[in-house]
Amino acid sequence: MFGFMVQLSHSQDNIFTQVYPKLNGEYFQQFLDWYLVQLGEDYAILQIDQAPAHISGAINWPENIIPLLQPPHSPELNPIERLWQYLKKSLKNELFSSLQDLRTRIQQLFEQLTFEQVISISSYNFILEALFYAASY
């Protein structure tokens, strides 16, 4: 399962989440195409790991979305990993009769998150410092 959370402004109404059945180039391109429309003329830096779907030559990167690759094998630098860790606590000891039920529950958990919670969970200065340091080499 692959998911993302994008905030387009400081308003709670402008946080978008989506969960895909898997991470592959096709779904990642769908996300980039959607994000491009949301951005309009604005620019964004998108922090990504080096999953094959993210770095494939087949990905058509829009000019106004700038990829920031985190170093290999460093999930601790990825804010979404911290968010998934937080969400997993809510799923502890829950049983689901189908994968779709699990997906529905995860979507509910995403929708319950406030902007403040997302910032609190995923914003750590050392992450950005480490990424910019690594990118300089």
Q: Are 82 and 61 in contact (CB under 8 A)?
A: no
Position 98 scores a pLDDT of: 94
Position 136 scores a pLDDT of: 72
Position 127 scores a pLDDT of: 63
- Residue 70's pLDDT band (cuts 50, 70, 90): confident
Position 58 scores a pLDDT of: 92
Residue 95 has pLDDT above 90, yes or no: yes
Identify the weakest region by mean pLDDT among 35-49, 71-85, 113-127: 113-127
